[in-house]
Amino acid sequence: MKGIDYTSLFKDADFLQTPKGLLIGILVLAVLWLLMRLAERIAAGSVGQLIRALRRPLIVSLAVAVIADWVLSLFARNVQFLTDAQVAKGTTSFMLVVFGRAVMVAGLRAIHSKAFNRWMQKEIDDDRERIMLIALLDRLFSIGVVFLIFSAIMLALGVSPTAVGAVLGGAGIGIGFGTQQVSQNFLSGLMLFFNRPFAEGDWINLSNYSGTVERIGWYHTRIRTFDRRPLFIPNSVFATTPIENPGRMYNRRIKVEISLRYEDINRINRITADVKTMLQNHSEIDQRQAILVNFNEWGNSSINMLVYCFTKTTVWSDWLDIQQDIFLQIADIVSEAGADFAFPSTTLYPPSSVNPRHPLFDQKASVPKDSD
């Protein structure tokens, strides 16, 4: 592949390396500045925002490049070991760096502009997800510009495209091995963004952790535990650990077994019917879900009644209040039925060989008095 003839390129731009050429270049940039200002005023909406974002970094980068070309040409004329081709390579590389920075600044301004945010609001309703997407675009755009400018500089210095591709590929492999853990956490951060198993503000449960998500970063996620301790979890943990997000539930469940005395067996039908009627009339119980109230187990010292239903709310504090109200109403129903709650007890049956008149079994046996 034939390389770039930097000598002819330098000669074609020779007029910029004279004071007159420098002055003409600055005047051209001034006119371009005014034209972009005029276009910015005429254009409306996102086009005007884009011109405003591009104007300053583009004009400044071109001005710096023109001045740098003129300065380097002076070095070429007065320093013997500098050739025209070397000056051209240096000027081109410098222009690419300055232009790359201008593109990065303009792109980041466009990403964070009000017009782009308004467009994002139409596409994504959740503010937290929209902020995460903008941060992702910011990071990916910056990395992409850096890689492109690096490749362009390598090509401008005369490196073949094959060698540039090999260097970038080798660098990618080396960085991948050297930063394997970092890469895993970053890719897991991308997974969290696209899959969105939880968002900032959600309460989540993992195998060994639970708390409110405060910030989802690219390397780790910060959660606040129930006792207000900050906990930083590497994002790679979420790729291999099941995540429970109660905030995504449609309902919260109330499931409890209530133990009654064996002597209340004749009242169990009335109690279960009254409890079920109470739940069916309760304003905070979701009637679309199953409501179960049944005598379901013979216990060692009680007959057990299952109460199973779902609340409309998923907020934990509200669920606790509703559950307390239901428990107290169940207590009133049991009391009105003349029943009572059971507690663990043991009944002793002495063998026939034991004398029932023995003082241990004689409730009327007198307790010996202390001797004077």
Ramachandran class of 35: left when φ > 0, alpha when ψ lies in -120 to 50, beta otherwise: alpha
Separation CA 362–CA 7 (nearest Å) = 124
Task: For residue 268, count other CB atoms closer than 10 A to its CB.
Answer: 17
Q: What is the pLDDT of residue 21?
A: 66
98 contacts: CB under 8 Å, gap ≥ 6: 61, 64, 65, 68
Separation CA 179–CA 195 (nearest Å) = 24
Separation CA 189–CA 220 (nearest Å) = 8
Rounded alpha-carbon distances, angstroms, from residue 139 to 197, 232, 271, 294:
21, 21, 63, 58
* Angle at alpha carbon of residue 293, lines to 290 and 296, rounded to 5°: 115
Mean pLDDT of the chain: 77
Lowest mean pLDDT among 109-113, 175-179, 186-190, 198-202: 175-179
The residue type at 286: D
* Angle at alpha carbon of residue 101, lines to 97 and 107, rounded to 5°: 145
Range among 176-185, 283-292, 351-360 rated most confident? 283-292
Domain ranges of the chain: 6-178, 189-247, 249-336
The model's pLDDT over 41-80, given as tens digits with 9 standing for 90+, comes to: 777 666 666 677 667 767 776 777 777 666 666 666 665 5
CATH topology of domain 189-247: SH3 type barrels. (2.30.30)
- HSE-CB at 233 with a 13 A cutoff on CA atoms is 31
Range among 104-113, 162-171, 203-212, 254-263 rated most confident? 254-263
The model's pLDDT over 4-45, given as tens digits with 9 standing for 90+, comes to: 444 444 444 555 556 666 677 777 778 887 887 787 777 766
Q: What is the pLDDT of residue 4?
A: 46
Q: By the 8 A CB rule, do 245 and 196 touch? A: no
Q: Is the pTM of this model over 0.95?
A: no
Q: What is the CATH number of domain 249-336?
A: 3.30.70.100
Task: Indicate if the pLDDT at residue 224 is higher than 50.
Answer: yes
Tokens of 234: 């590497």
The CB-based long-range contact list for 28-34 (8 Å cut-off, 24+ gap) reads 29/59, 29/62, 29/63, 29/66, 32/59, 32/62, 33/59
Q: What is the pLDDT of residue 112?
A: 80
**For tokens 């995460």, what's the residue?**
132
The model's pLDDT over 115-129, given as tens digits with 9 standing for 90+, comes to: 777 777 776 666 766
